Structure 1
Amino acid sequence: MMKPNVWELDYVGQPEQVGTTWYDYQHNSSMSRMIAYEDDGSVHCCWMNGLVSGASQRVIYYNKRLPDGTWVYGDVGNQVNVTAFAGYCTLDLDVSGNPVIAYHATPAAGGTYSCYLWNSTGEHALPAPPAGITEITWPHVCVDVRDYIHVVAASNPTNKIYYTRSEDGGATWIDWQEVVTVGTSSGVSQTVCSDLATGKVAIGWTKAVTTSLYQSDVWYVESSDGTTWNFANAVNITQFGSGGHPMSSTTRAYADLNILYDSNGDIHIAYTSVPYPTYGDPGMIWHWSEATGHQKVTGTFEETSWISFNDPGVWRNCIDHPSLSEDADGVLYCQWGQCTTPGDSSAGGYGNWDVYVTYSTDGGYNWMAPVNVTGTATPGDPPGQCFSENWANMAKVATDKLHLQYIFDLDAGGIPQGEGTWTLNPVFYQGVPVDSILTNIVVTVEPINPPIIIPPGGGSFQYELTIENQCDFTVHFDGWIDVILPNSSIYDILARYGITLPSGGMIMRTMTQNVPGGAPAGTYTYQAHTGDKGWNVWGEASFNFTKSAVDGSAGGSWNCSGWDEDVTVVENTPETHVLSSVYPNPFNPTTAISYQLPATSFVNLTVYDIYGRRIAELVNGWRDAGVHR
């Protein structure tokens, strides 16, 4: 197998190979978790592994990263299942830190699927399906504070969700209990999560409100003790049909969600939504808690200069598969996948995926700038040369790093859906330093000739507006200006959408603001914001001014000018593409090569000897504007 030299690409954190698989596909919809972080610093990973091309041998593999960074089973992993043709695994840890992995498999090749669990005592069969149900498959697992194991799964065809539990480490199980009838149009959406502080357990799913899984509501039901359930008390958190969502007229949920209990024992749910009433490949990621309601994390239904809706494949959307985590300070993190880089599709026409993350410091009310932590692009590349980081998920515990796992798919598309070709793909763990994803958009507004006092008949004032990107990454954002009136209401002044600013870039404007004579007397707060307008604020600044009295006959307007007339100043950004001379040259054994980019660009930098022979490929991916060496 060709092992891609991913360490030379634009990753945030160090990818580490934990295994391989010919079977790129991992889950249809909700992924729950396939990675867990242990208190001693260990990391546990599992995945569905196709051992050969064609995946006639499909098994469950596991690997563990010790606190010193060593992987117990090297860069290959170890098979854990005994049954035949196993797949679609999820993972949690028991109270002793041992892995607990749920999956479905057949007792013999070609047989009926059943659910199984593997833990420190071996492989355990879950209960047989209830009467009238042929198969129960796609199990998702969690372990609670008492070491009880909870599993939710779906009947096949998927019209019912079932629950079972073991209170003795998997040796015995209660009979399957029907949670809900979701109908055959609702997809494989079930997931389960426990609160390790209180013993609460929650089950989540989506349920189609029509005949399409792309028009669903998001539901959950909770047990306060993990053993007493009243499934009739399930909560519909979206209620799209009755206007219970802030975008009820334009979006619906898809069969894709993730649940997290925070350190206070509160439930957080992240889910994917898609366009409504006409379905399309675009996607949005949402966060919900009882305190915050529905808050958009990221996503758009409109293409931009940096967002293109490449073909995501069956059961997928261009932005999907969210996963939540929390650190010891109560900061929430969200991770998801995107195949939206313009032009970045495989030779077969399927979008190459990247992994994105963001965070919230206020419990999920406000989410900061998305960060692409893989940052690879291989537009038009053939099988074996695609870089598509897909089926990513994140451990629910964040430390100084976010702990991610994904398939490094060498030909984009889901192979069991007939998308792409068979390739032997690395499975990666990636620890993303949280300090590297922090949003730092510095906004300043400095009034010229303060204090500003507007006379009764109206007038104008000027101020200097500066927006500086002090992040380690390029940011795409909206900028808007509004004013808080003396009666505390907010009046919108100006908005500019889809601004792109590379790391180190700066925008400077001298702005002129008119104030009409009819504006009420009193103190005003003038505000400039950056972020995702209507949802998230990433940086802001303000100053006050005063209107001395009212003269309604004077007329005037709240016109604001100066944004479009001035130019954008981007510090430390070259005006042209330049490849500088190497120094020293000729060289042996080392030299320095520098190049500069006026804008974010795809770069290939390859070294050849004097006979034209290729010696090394130094760069093959997207790079931000600026000087590189």
Structure 2
Amino acid sequence: MKRALLFVLALFILSSGIVIGSEVDKKQLINRAAYPLNADFLNNSEFGTPIPYIEPHGGTDDPVLVGMTFYDFANYGSLTKLIALDDSAGVHFAWTCGENINSGTRHVYYNYYNIFSGSWTYPGTGNVTWAATRSGFNNLDVLSDGRAVVAAHSNLSGIDEYPTMVGVDYSPGMGAFWPVTQVPCPAVCDTVIWPHMAVDIDDNIYVFSRRYPFYEGDPRDFTELYYSKSEDLGSSYDQFIFADTVNVPSFTVATSRISRRAALGYHQFLEDYNYHPLWSGFLALQINNDAFCIIKEDGQDWDWENPVNITNIIKGDASFLPDTILAQGDTLRAYLDIDLMFDHDDVLHAMFTCRGLYEAPWDTTPPPISGLTEASFIWHWRQDTDSLNVVANGWWNCAYNISTGGAGAWKSTSCRPSMGIDDEGNLYCVYEGYHDFETNPDTSAISMGNGDIFVTVSTDGGYNWAEAMNLTDTNSNNAIAGDCMSECFPSLAEVVDEFLHIFYMEDKDAGSYVFDEGLSTENPMWYVALDKTEVPTTPLIEQFYFHIVRDSVGVKQTPDIQPSDFALKGNYPNPFNASTNFVFSLKTGMKIEMNVYDIQGRLCGRLAEGFYPQGEHTVNWNAAGLSSGIYFCKLAAGGYAKTVKALLVK
């Protein structure tokens, strides 16, 4: 496997087909997140309902085999975690394993690796977590004593019921799950499946799960999300209670490692769009979401009544016509997956995929849109500053015809972000990505995109992200079933020590046979321990604004910056020997560049670059390798610059 190969994310030239009505200056759209690029629109077909099962029909960065599966689909939306690192250097894995072709037999499998001894509990195979007729769609966490906890839906009786089950390993790394407990469900909620689970610092187990199926004759496009908790190490669970509504299984749960805070993340239709006769039943409605979180503060109950809207999508509004750019509003929508994590300061972070949706509120035919895309971005949000920043850019087509090929069902060109954090507070993201068909074609023989696993890092708390490293870097263009190398469904252990612990599938026929996108193949599940020093921290990916701005003049894509909006306050100590700190402040979040020059104007150091939030910031400069003399620090933003002088004395 190639190492440290940078995957350069390119921005493309605007196409002209999206603007309807009056002529629009394309320069207005340059800093717009979902500007129309080399990305075709999807057919706006009626969307299907996820199914809980498929009936049988018919210390190195080299990957280590964890097990196999014929079932090439891990989850419809968020994965939460499929891998966890415990405090005793044990790595736990759980996955949905189809044991034979077309997955007639399907169970949740578990495996364990001890880093110190280099030993596996089930070398190269894994083993069934618990006895059931059929199980799947799992996630995993660990208790403080190192025992794994696995949540999944399981058919125990052979009839068409898949209740939420949670199992706890008998001993760390053993893979003998007992107790295995069914989370009780009130009759009104029918079968509640597709669970997502996390363990807090007191070993309480939080479980969220989505109801299936819809009530017979139910006209709604959404369904309920339910919550339960165990306070006795998984021996018993509270009866499920209603939490909120979701449309697809796009939800996850996370807990703090330093407090009793917890959070639920999910996607929900924009207000007033559900039941709407122009939207109901279409893919456009399924994509038309805001991202939300509900937070449980330390020592308190969940704040069900006050969900936090992360994205606050600006909806289409025909009153802005004839300006169609203003009328269509925001052109990004949160779709399919979301990941949550608390950092070392207990700040909540969210990461989610956004696709393009171009609303046309002037249209009276269902649905009122100009187009949808499979192309996507991954965005990052942090709770304390309410900032939205680009993590990954996948704004392109990954196949010649995305109507018959492409990334596949329940996937986007950049999707399924999985977060981790190291001791220094650096944030990492591992995600599934598909290549631009025009510049790097990589599809199967039937035009399904072959995925790769990408890794990126932020060293400033999520405001800026490095251009992604292609971890797997395989290309099997035009490969037939069995020869594809399509890496997908990545999961990163939240704890990053010296390594990023990564777990993923290699699909040997791109797409999913579950949705008739190819054939059922036997697929390896790989583990990679990637040295974190191999993840490049530069160059940084281009940042731009999530929202359109409507004002009395028109659309404004980049906030105006004035000299009074930022200040370079100087440095301390000054004079200094070897090291000094430069302090600057911003009245609003903005992109800045800070460099140091010698008295002859030569660049001596690049101290800061990219988007920084509102507030005061301190940047250290180590000049140990330079000679005594006068140096100038220049802070530039919005076409303006400010300079201070520093004296190095050795």
Q: What is the TM-score of this pair, normalised by structure 1? A: 0.67
- The match for 2:303 among 230, 250, 253 is 230
- Measure, in 1, the Cα distance between the counterparts of 2:331 and 2:607: 24
Moved over 3 A (4+): 6-12, 302-305, 475-478, 484-490, 525-536, 542-545
Q: CA deviation at 1:487?
A: 3.7
1:30 maps to which residue?
78
1:173 maps to which residue?
237
Paired residues of 1:82 and 1:123 also in contact (CA < 8 A): no
- Measure, in 2, the Cα distance between the counterparts of 1:351 and 1:485: 42
- The match for 1:269 among 332, 339, 350 is 350
Paired residues of 1:526 and 1:544 also in contact (CA < 8 A): no
Paired residues of 2:488 and 2:504 also in contact (CA < 8 A): yes
Amino acid at match of 1:36: A
- Measure, in 2, the Cα distance between the counterparts of 1:42 and 1:57: 29
Q: CA deviation at 1:327?
A: 0.3
Q: Which has the higher contact order (CA 8 A, sep 6+)?
A: 2
2:210 is the counterpart of 1:154: yes
1:66-85 correspondence runs (5 A): 66-67=114-115, 68-85=117-134
- Measure, in 2, the Cα distance between the counterparts of 1:143 and 1:53: 34
Amino acid at match of 1:75: G
- Measure, in 2, the Cα distance between the counterparts of 1:165 and 1:389: 34
Q: What RMSD, in angstroms, separates the aligned Cα atoms of the two structures?
A: 3.5
1:357 maps to which residue?
455
Find the residue that maps to 1:279 and give its secondary structure.
Answer: strand
Query: Structure 1 residues 313 and 535, CA, compared in 2 at 3 Å: closer, same or farther?
Result: farther
Per-residue Cα deviation, 1:255-300 (whole angstroms, up to 9, x for no partner):
2100001111110000000002121110100000122511111114
Amino acid at match of 2:234: G
- Measure, in 2, the Cα distance between the counterparts of 1:38 and 1:217: 34
Query: Structure 1 residues 8 and 422, CA, compared in 2 at 3 Å: closer, same or farther?
Result: farther
- Measure, in 2, the Cα distance between the counterparts of 1:250 and 1:530: 34
- Measure, in 2, the Cα distance between the counterparts of 1:437 and 1:204: 27
- The match for 2:390 among 287, 293, 296 is 296
2:330 is the counterpart of 1:249: yes
2:141 maps to which residue?
92
Q: CA deviation at 1:124?
A: 2.3
- The match for 1:205 among 266, 269, 275 is 266
2:106 maps to which residue?
58
Paired residues of 1:318 and 1:340 also in contact (CA < 8 A): yes
Per-residue Cα deviation, 1:80-111 (whole angstroms, up to 9, x for no partner):
12122100000000111110000001112243
* Number of equivalenced pairs: 459
Q: CA deviation at 1:226?
A: 6.8
2:417 is the counterpart of 1:322: yes
Find the residue that maps to 2:479 and give its secondary structure.
Answer: coil
2:376 is the counterpart of 1:283: yes
1:108-187 correspondence runs (5 A): 108-121=157-170, 122-157=178-213, 159-182=223-246, 186-187=247-248
1:573 maps to which residue?
none
Q: CA deviation at 1:138?
A: 0.4
Structure having the higher Rg = 1
Paired residues of 1:213 and 1:255 also in contact (CA < 8 A): no
Find the residue that maps to 1:179 and give its secondary structure.
Answer: strand
Per-residue Cα deviation, 1:64-86 (whole angstroms, up to 9, x for no partner):
11023322110001111212210
1:191 maps to which residue?
252
Q: CA deviation at 1:433?
A: 1.2
Per-residue Cα deviation, 1:229-251 (whole angstroms, up to 9, x for no partner):
231121111110369xxx96221
Find the residue that maps to 2:187 and give its secondary structure.
Answer: coil
- Measure, in 2, the Cα distance between the counterparts of 1:219 and 1:151: 17
Relative to its length, the structure with more strand (as a share) is 1
Query: Structure 1 residues 85 and 296, CA, compared in 2 at 3 Å: closer, same or farther?
Result: same
Find the residue that maps to 1:199 and give its secondary structure.
Answer: coil
Of all paired residues, the percent bearing the same amino acid is 28
2:526 maps to which residue?
428
Query: Structure 1 residues 535 and 195, CA, compared in 2 at 3 Å: closer, same or farther?
Result: closer
- The match for 2:471 among 366, 373, 389 is 373
Paired residues of 1:407 and 1:428 also in contact (CA < 8 A): yes
2:433 maps to which residue?
338
Query: Structure 1 residues 286 and 226, CA, compared in 2 at 3 Å: closer, same or farther?
Result: farther
Amino acid at match of 2:378: I
Amino acid at match of 2:409: V
Per-residue Cα deviation, 1:116-144 (whole angstroms, up to 9, x for no partner):
11112414233332223221000011111
Q: CA deviation at 1:531?
A: 12
Query: Structure 1 residues 139 and 526, CA, compared in 2 at 3 Å: closer, same or farther?
Result: farther
Query: Structure 1 residues 89 and 544, CA, compared in 2 at 3 Å: closer, same or farther?
Result: closer
- The match for 1:219 among 292, 303, 316 is 292
Q: CA deviation at 1:28?
A: 0.5
1:407 maps to which residue?
505
Paired residues of 1:287 and 1:295 also in contact (CA < 8 A): yes
Per-residue Cα deviation, 1:514-550 (whole angstroms, up to 9, x for no partner):
xxxxxxxxxxx999999998899xxxxx9889xxxxx
- Measure, in 2, the Cα distance between the counterparts of 1:215 and 1:198: 34
Query: Structure 1 residues 531 and 32, CA, compared in 2 at 3 Å: closer, same or farther?
Result: farther
Paired residues of 1:207 and 1:217 also in contact (CA < 8 A): yes
Per-residue Cα deviation, 1:378-430 (whole angstroms, up to 9, x for no partner):
00011111101111111111111111111111111112111111111110011
Paired residues of 1:292 and 1:365 also in contact (CA < 8 A): no
- Measure, in 2, the Cα distance between the counterparts of 1:533 and 1:262: 21
Find the residue that maps to 1:347 and give its secondary structure.
Answer: coil
- Measure, in 1, the Cα distance between the counterparts of 2:201 and 2:537: 35
Amino acid at match of 1:366: N
- Measure, in 2, the Cα distance between the counterparts of 1:202 and 1:485: 35
- Measure, in 1, the Cα distance between the counterparts of 2:486 and 2:309: 35
Query: Structure 1 residues 429 and 415, CA, compared in 2 at 3 Å: closer, same or farther?
Result: same
Find the residue that maps to 1:333 and give its secondary structure.
Answer: strand
Find the residue that maps to 2:305 and give its secondary structure.
Answer: helix
Gaps of 5+ in 1: 1-5, 442-474, 479-483, 491-524, 537-541, 546-557, 559-629
Query: Structure 1 residues 8 and 148, CA, compared in 2 at 3 Å: closer, same or farther?
Result: closer
1:383-462 correspondence runs (5 A): 383-441=481-539
- Measure, in 1, the Cα distance between the counterparts of 2:240 and 2:196: 14
2:408 maps to which residue?
313
Query: Structure 1 residues 226 and 53, CA, compared in 2 at 3 Å: closer, same or farther?
Result: farther
Query: Structure 1 residues 304 and 55, CA, compared in 2 at 3 Å: closer, same or farther?
Result: closer
Per-residue Cα deviation, 1:3-49 (whole angstroms, up to 9, x for no partner):
xxx69998991100000001111010111000001122211110000
- Measure, in 2, the Cα distance between the counterparts of 1:486 and 1:422: 59
- Measure, in 1, the Cα distance between the counterparts of 2:531 and 2:386: 27
- Measure, in 2, the Cα distance between the counterparts of 1:422 and 1:170: 35
Paired residues of 1:346 and 1:411 also in contact (CA < 8 A): yes
Paired residues of 2:340 and 2:351 also in contact (CA < 8 A): yes
Find the residue that maps to 1:14 and give its secondary structure.
Answer: coil
Per-residue Cα deviation, 1:563-589 (whole angstroms, up to 9, x for no partner):
xxxxxxxxxxxxxxxxxxxxxxxxxxx
- Measure, in 1, the Cα distance between the counterparts of 2:94 and 2:398: 36
- Measure, in 2, the Cα distance between the counterparts of 1:261 and 1:324: 10
Paired residues of 1:93 and 1:99 also in contact (CA < 8 A): yes
Query: Structure 1 residues 544 and 428, CA, compared in 2 at 3 Å: closer, same or farther?
Result: closer
Find the residue that maps to 1:203 and give its secondary structure.
Answer: strand
- Measure, in 1, the Cα distance between the counterparts of 2:233 and 2:465: 39
Q: CA deviation at 1:181?
A: 2.2
Query: Structure 1 residues 226 and 286, CA, compared in 2 at 3 Å: closer, same or farther?
Result: farther
Amino acid at match of 1:253: A
